């Protein structure tokens, strides 16, 4: 954890300028403007698959001509084998839902540690399709479920069965034939705890088991549609064009269940954001840039323009941001095409300063993703710092005076909020008793606020500071906690922030203006999600692995060159 104590004002050991302040970065509006990047967990996975020459095959594909049955997709690494076990079911159209409370799905999956026996497959055949209602095995590393994007699924199958390729525009508009509604890991519902794989090559970085699950679901979905086309069209059926197949990702519907993760794991959040900020600082510190890298950045900018042109959503707020991004991206391209900009010292730093002063957050953060892309040799090694072992903090060496100083340093934003304004406490977060999923309530309209999760950070900070200032500044914090146990949670959190300055979202999460969608997008950007498609302030659809290499395309070029993939 020594590296994590590096102050954001001084990282001279990294030969980089100061990182951006947490007060600038850890705001919901900016976090909700992050894009996929080379540090994203899905990109980490495909780089490793290429580097280690993972072998992926189908040791079992027992689907009938109606597309029902089970299959096993195996990923063999130099160290282990992992098997995605898939079960396909018939469901009525009215049972197909994006919501986590659904109880039936077109397909259910589990990532198995190793290669399951026939007996184990038969056991999972009883438990995986019912998901949390089943008794899962400790060898299972993830549990997930998905529904068809029925219109596109049927269109692709019908076209291939008829011997022709499906409509490319329709594929681009949807982006996937299967959409997951949950991918569970880390011990949920009886599957393996994180500790089973946390020290294992290929799984030490965050969410690698989940990313592998999704990549294999994508692999399965492509084989499933070709199987269905063959069953329907016989010898007339053709394979899906590879460029179209590559453009097919896996859809995902993500709601409030993901948002509290960022609050509940401050050290992990810090490591993600701080690594990203270190990456930006490192490239800004480069005094000059080679002609090849300049050409690569320009090419990525043009690819980004095509990606933006294909990104269309129904949400009015996000669509207005995309319209502004479209216009501003032409300014980005013009800036990058000006030779004098690259002839000055530290041109990337100049580009970032220009973007910060001139562009919207959506455009600025997309430019950061583009600028990071050519510097894998400098940045990829940072990915090992993104995991975290979250341990209890030691408060015995901290005094009341020390704690007050920490609050003033790291929570000045919380102290500045006027909590007498009712709008600053309009909502509350709670856990649904029926599905054990987070929900958002209206404090002054709905019951249940007495059961809220402790996300009212500014309120807790201001209350704790008032009581701290009323006692002897030399009193130890453990003694203070004994006298004021109601402050134990927030004071432990303050101690965490001492070494994790990017671990706290610096906005009031219970204010009327809170948009949980910003928290979702932040986390999903680290997954590598693209085409964010908000359906409200509370949930979004996204696409994972769109443009990623197919299982037989793990070459140096393709495996690590799919940022902002576009079909056009």
20 inside domain:
yes
365, 496: one domain:
no
Q: How confident is the model at residue 5 (pLDDT cuts 50, 70, 90)?
A: very low
Give me the pLDDT at residue 303, please: 97
Domain boundary among 508, 525, 542: 525
Residue 492 lies in a domain: yes
Instruction: Enumerate residues 6+ apart whose C-beta is below 8 A from 150.
Output: 93, 96
- Same structural domain for residues 359 and 435? no
Asked if the structure places residue 3 within a domain, the reply is no
Q: Say yes or no: 179 and 161 in one domain.
A: yes
Of the given ranges (13-27, 142-156, 330-344, 392-406), which has the lowest mean pLDDT?
A: 13-27
Does residue 17 have a pLDDT over 60? no
CA 21 to each of CA 13, 154, 296: distance values in angstroms, whole numbers, following the listed order = 18, 49, 29
Residue 305's pLDDT band (cuts 50, 70, 90): very high
Do 83 and 218 share a domain, yes or no? Answer: yes
Residues 223 and 101 in one domain: yes
Length of the chain: 568
Query: The domain containing residue 212 runs over which residues?
Result: 41-255
**Least confident residue range of 227-241, 248-262, 553-567:** 553-567
Residue-wise DSSP of 213-227? HHHHHHHHHHHHHHH
Is the model's pLDDT at 432 over the cut of 70? yes
Q: Give phi and psi for 395, each to the nearest 5.
A: -100, -5
**108 & 208 share domain:** yes
Do 201 and 174 sit in the same domain of this protein? yes
Q: Which of 205, 356, 389, 342 is nearest to 280 (CA)?
A: 356
Percent of the chain with pLDDT over 90: 86
* 468-483 average pLDDT score: 97
pLDDT (0 to 100) of residue 7 = 39
pLDDT in tens, 155-206: 999 999 999 999 999 999 999 999 998 899 988 888 999 999 999 999 999 9
As a whole number of Å, the end-to-end CA separation of the chain is 45
Distance CA(459)–CA(454), nearest Å, equals 10
pLDDT at residue 95, rounded to an integer: 66
Banded pLDDT at 12 (limits 50, 70, 90): very low
In this structure, the answer to whether residues 379 and 448 fall within a common structural domain is: no
Query: What is the domain count for the chain?
Result: 3
The mean per-residue pLDDT over the stretch 213-219 comes to: 98
Domain match, 187 and 240 both: yes
CA distances from 325 to 98, 281, 295, 369 (A): 28, 23, 22, 14
Give the end of a domain, one of 229, 255, 281: 255
Q: What is the CA radius of gyration of the chain?
A: 25
Residue 135 to residue 143: CA distance in whole angstroms: 12
Answer for the pair 568, 197: CB distance below 8 angstroms, yes or no: no
Give the orientation angle of helix 516-527 with respect to helix 41-52, to 10 degrees.
10
CB contact set of 273 (below 8 Å; sequence gap of 6+): 25, 26, 502
> What mean pLDDT is predicted for residues 96-123?
86
Spatial CB neighbours of 236, under 8 Å, sequence gap ≥ 6: 161, 162, 163
Distances (CA, A) of 196 to 58, 137, 209, 388: 25, 13, 11, 15
- Calpha distance 60→74 (Å, rounded): 9
List the single range of 284-298, 314-328, 543-557 with lowest mean pLDDT: 543-557
Is 74 inside any structural domain? yes
Residue 325's nearest CA partner among 358, 301, 360 is: 360
Which pLDDT value is given to residue 296?
97
Helix ranges, 285-360 (H):
291-309, 316-336, 339-343, 347-358
**In Å, what is the CA distance from 206 to each residue of 121, 266, 297?**
27, 14, 28
Q: Bridge partners of 544? A: 250
Same domain for 397 and 449, yes or no, is yes
Domain stop point among 388, 417, 433 = 388
Q: Are residues 314 and 405 in the same domain?
A: no
Strands 81-88 and 107-113: antiparallel
Residue 546 located in a structural domain = no
Per the domain annotation, does 501 fall within a domain? yes
Q: Which of 93-97, 113-117, 207-211, 378-382 has the weakest average pLDDT?
A: 93-97
Q: Is 175 left (phi over 0), alpha (psi -120 to 50) or beta?
A: left
Residue 369, exposed/middle/buried by CB under 10 A (0-12, 13-18, 19+)? Answer: buried
- Residues 204-230 have a mean pLDDT of 97
Cβ-based neighbour number of residue 58 at 10 Å: 15
| pLDDT tens per residue across span 379-412 | 999 999 999 988 778 778 899 999 999 999 999 9
Distances in Å between the Cα of 558 and the Cα atoms of 456, 477, 542 are 45, 54, 22
**Shared-domain flag, residues 66 and 175:** yes
**Separation between Cα atoms, residue 131 and residue 128, nearest integer Å:** 5
Q: Are 101 and 155 in contact (CB under 8 A)?
A: no
pTM score, whole prediction: 0.93
Q: Which two tokens stand for residue 540?
A: 């979004």
Domain membership flag for residue 160: yes
């Amino acid at each position: 954890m020594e590296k994590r104590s590096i102050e954001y004002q001084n990282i001279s050991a990294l030969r980089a300028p100061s990182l951006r302040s947490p007060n600038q970065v850890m705001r919901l509006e900016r976090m909700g403007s992050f894009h996929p990047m080379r540090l994203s967990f899905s990109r980490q996975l495909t780089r490793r698959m290429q580097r280690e020459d993972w072998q992926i095959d189908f040791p079992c594909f027992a689907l009938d001509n109606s597309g029902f049955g089970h299959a096993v997709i195996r990923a063999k690494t130099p160290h282990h084998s992992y098997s995605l076990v898939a079960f396909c079911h018939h469901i009525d159209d009215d049972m197909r839902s994006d919501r986590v409370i659904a109880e039936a799905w077109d397909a259910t999956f589990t990532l198995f540690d190793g290669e399951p026996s026939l007996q184990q497959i038969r056991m999972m055949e009883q438990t995986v399709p019912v998901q949390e209602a089943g008794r899962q095995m400790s060898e299972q590393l993830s549990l997930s479920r998905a529904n068809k994007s029925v219109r596109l699924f049927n269109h692709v199958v019908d076209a291939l069965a008829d011997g022709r390729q499906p409509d490319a525009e329709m594929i681009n508009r949807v982006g996937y034939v299967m959409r997951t509604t949950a991918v569970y890991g880390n011990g949920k519902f009886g599957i393996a705890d994180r500790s089973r794989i946390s020290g294992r090559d290929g799984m030490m970085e965050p969410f690698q088991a989940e990313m592998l699950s999704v990549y294999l679901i994508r692999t399965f979905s492509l084989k499933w549609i070709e199987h269905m086309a063959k069953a329907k069209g016989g010898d007339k059926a053709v394979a899906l064009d590879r460029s179209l197949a590559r453009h097919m990702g896996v859809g995902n519907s993500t709601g409030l269940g993901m948002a509290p993760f960022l609050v509940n794991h401050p050290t992990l959040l810090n490591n993600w954001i701080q690594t990203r900020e270190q990456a930006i600082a490192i490239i800004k510190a480069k005094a000059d840039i080679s002609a090849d890298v300049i050409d690569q950045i320009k090419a990525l900018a043009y690819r980004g323009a095509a990606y933006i042109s294909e990104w269309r959503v129904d949400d009015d707020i996000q669509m207005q941001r995309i319209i502004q991004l479209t216009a501003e991206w032409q300014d980005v391209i013009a800036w990058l095409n000006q030779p004098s900009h690259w002839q000055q010292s530290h041109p990337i730093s100049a580009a970032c300063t220009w973007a910060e002063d001139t562009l919207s957050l959506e455009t600025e953060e997309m430019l950061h993703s583009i600028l990071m892309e050519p510097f894998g040799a400098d940045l990829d090694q940072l990915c090992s710092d993104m995991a975290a072992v979250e341990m209890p903090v030691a408060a015995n060496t901290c005094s009341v005076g020390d704690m007050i100083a920490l609050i003033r340093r790291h929570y000045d934003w919380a102290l500045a909020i006027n909590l007498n304004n009712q709008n600053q406490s309009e909502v509350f977060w709670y856990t649904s008793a029926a599905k054990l999923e987070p929900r958002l309530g209206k404090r002054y309209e709905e019951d249940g606020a007495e059961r809220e999760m402790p996300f009212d950070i500014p309120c807790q900070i201001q209350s704790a500071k008032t009581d701290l200032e009323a006692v002897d500044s030399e009193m130890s914090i453990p003694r203070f906690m004994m006298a004021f146990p109601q402050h134990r949670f927030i004071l432990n959190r303050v101690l965490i922030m001492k070494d994790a300055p990017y671990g706290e979202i610096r906005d009031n999460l219970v204010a009327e203006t809170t948009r949980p969608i910003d928290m979702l997008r932040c986390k999903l950007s680290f997954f590598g999600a693209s085409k964010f498609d908000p359906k409200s302030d509370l949930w979004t659809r996204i696409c994972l692995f769109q443009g990623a290499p197919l299982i037989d395309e793990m070459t140096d070029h393709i495996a690590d060159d799919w940022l902002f993939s576009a079909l056009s």
